[in-house]
């Protein structure tokens, strides 16, 4: 097995962590103990699977020795055991390869999602509203918390843009493949002739960053307050509670006007700004590796058309993995799991291919 040396190294690290966790000097340091405990938990599934693999492999080797015993009854039992155990080996190897894949450091993070109407005028804004509702329903299924940071509504219930935060373990791992251009084909409510129209909205999913991950200097910021123009009641609309922050070196502008408290809006806007700056750096790195990433699943290119929603046929198609489902109604109600699984499997397959080369 060509990855066995890597697995042995993981097992050594695992045992070393266990040794350290038993050291009284470490147990007295809560922060270090928590850090080691987290690493231990991450390595444990790999080590347990590797040990089970070795146990099965040893059982097969022992059974093959029994085939040479010259005792027909023992040889028959050994042959049965080999026939039962050998099919498990391929599955063990595939599982271990997947467990060895490096984790995306952002996978467990909460996210900030930006949904913006694209081509298609009012119909695109209505589609942006449908996407927002879809993600809202998915959050309800996941029991995640969603909060709107900023929005720009149209007159008939659409959104020119809506920006919201999703707080939930593993949110980025499940939603990162949503970034890109989403295209809709349907007869708009604004169309009197009953003709099928095509319009689009863009989605950007940004992993939320911790304070320690990015430093923002106060002198680089221009902070403005203004009166909210969105929904939220009389108090919101009559006080300067909305906050706009401009990051002068990059020109990035973020706003937050959902809360009645200016202090809360400012805190949320700062979190959003740091997330945007972190994302800008990630996008810069991605563009520098563009030739390498061009064929990759979920590369994060937000100009890429990722999905088509066809209402007349109740069809949704993801163009990156060529998967088509005839359950658009379920999908729009937040049942995103089939495409999440398909995208995750495609990403894992590609990363396995890269690992083997």
Q: Are strands 111-117 and 159-167 parallel, antiparallel or unpaired?
A: antiparallel
Joined together, the tokens standing for residue 228 give 């909210």
| 161 Cβ contact partners less than 8 Å away, ≥ 6 residues apart | 114, 115, 116, 117, 128, 150, 151, 152
Give pLDDT tens digits for 316-337: 999 999 999 999 999 999 999 9
The rounded distance, in Å, linking the Cα atoms of 245 and 254 is 5
pLDDT score for 262? 84
Q: Are strands 145-153 and 159-167 parallel, antiparallel or unpaired?
A: antiparallel
CA distance 341 to 277: 29
> Tens-digit pLDDT profile for the chain (357 aa)?
567 888 999 999 999 999 999 988 888 888 888 889 888 988 998 999 999 999 999 999 999 998 888 888 888 999 999 999 999 998 888 888 878 877 777 888 899 999 999 988 899 999 999 999 999 999 999 999 999 998 999 988 899 999 999 999 889 999 999 999 999 999 987 666 678 889 999 999 999 887 656 778 888 999 988 877 654 444 445 567 889 999 999 999 999 887 678 888 888 888 899 888 888 887 776 665 444 444 444 444 556 789 999 999 999 999 999 999 999 999 999 999 999 999 988 888 777 776 665
- Are 207 and 275 within 8 A, CB to CB? yes
Cα–Cα distance measured from residue 95 to residue 110, given in angstroms and rounded to the nearest whole number = 27
Phi, psi of 147 (to 5 degrees): -140, 135
Q: How would you label 319-333 residue by residue, b for 16+ Cβ within 10 Å and e otherwise?
A: ebbebebeebeebbe
Q: What are 20's two structure tokens?
A: 């350290």
Name the strand (E) or helix (H) holding 79: helix 72-100
pLDDT of residue 299: 44
pTM for this prediction = 0.69
pLDDT at 356: 60
CB–CB of 230/273 below 8 Å? no
Tokens for 258, please give them.
């959902």
pLDDT, residue 235, reads 42
Q: Which of 192, 208, 256, 249 is CA-nearest to residue 230?
A: 256
CA separation for the pair 21, 146 (Å, rounded): 37
Tell me the pairing of strands 305-310 and 180-186. parallel
| Per-residue 3-state assignment (H helix, E strand, C coil) for 172-201 | HHHHHHHCEEEEEEECCCCCCCCCCEEEEE
Lookup: tokens for 247:
């990051």
Residues ≥6 apart with Cβ < 8 Å to 119: 199, 200
Q: Are 183 and 305 in contact (CB under 8 A)?
A: yes
């Amino acid at each position: 097995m060509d990855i066995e040396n890597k697995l042995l190294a993981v097992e050594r690290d695992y045992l070393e962590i266990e040794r350290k966790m038993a050291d009284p000097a470490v147990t007295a340091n809560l922060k270090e103990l928590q850090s080691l405990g987290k690493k231990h938990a991450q390595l444990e599934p790999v080590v347990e699977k590797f040990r089970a693999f070795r146990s099965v492999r040893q059982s097969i080797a022992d059974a093959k020795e029994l085939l040479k015993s010259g005792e027909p009854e023992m040889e028959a039992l050994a042959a049965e055991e080999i026939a039962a155990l050998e099919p498990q080996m391929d599955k063990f190897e595939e599982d271990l390869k997947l467990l060895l894949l490096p984790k995306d450091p952002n996978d467990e993070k909460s996210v900030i999602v930006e949904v913006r109407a694209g081509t298609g005028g009012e119909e695109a804004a209505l589609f942006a509203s449908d996407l927002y509702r879809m993600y809202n329903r998915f959050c309800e299924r996941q029991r995640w918390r969603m909060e709107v940071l900023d929005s720009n509504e149209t007159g008939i219930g659409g959104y020119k843009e809506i920006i919201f935060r999703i707080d939930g373990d593993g949110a980025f791992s499940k939603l990162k493949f949503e970034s890109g251009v989403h295209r809709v084909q349907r007869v708009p409510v604004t169309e009197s002739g009953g003709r099928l129209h095509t319009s689009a909205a863009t989605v950007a999913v940004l992993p939320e960053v911790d304070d320690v991950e990015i430093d923002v200097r106060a002198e680089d910021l221009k902070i403005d307050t203004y009166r909210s123009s969105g929904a939220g009641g009389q108090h919101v609309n009559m006080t300067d509670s909305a906050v706009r922050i401009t990051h002068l070196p990059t020109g990035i502008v973020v706003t937050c006007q959902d809360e009645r408290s200016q202090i809360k809006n400012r805190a949320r806007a700062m979190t959003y700004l740091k997330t945007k700056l972190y994302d800008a750096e990630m996008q810069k790195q991605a563009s520098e590796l563009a030739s390498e990433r061009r064929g990759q699943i979920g590369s994060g290119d937000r100009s890429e058309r990722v999905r088509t929603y066809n209402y007349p046929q109740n069809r949704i198609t993801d163009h990156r993995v060529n998967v088509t489902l005839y359950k658009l109604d379920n999908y729009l109600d937040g049942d995103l799991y089939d495409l999440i699984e398909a995208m995750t499997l495609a990403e894992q397959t590609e990363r396995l291919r890269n690992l083997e080369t």
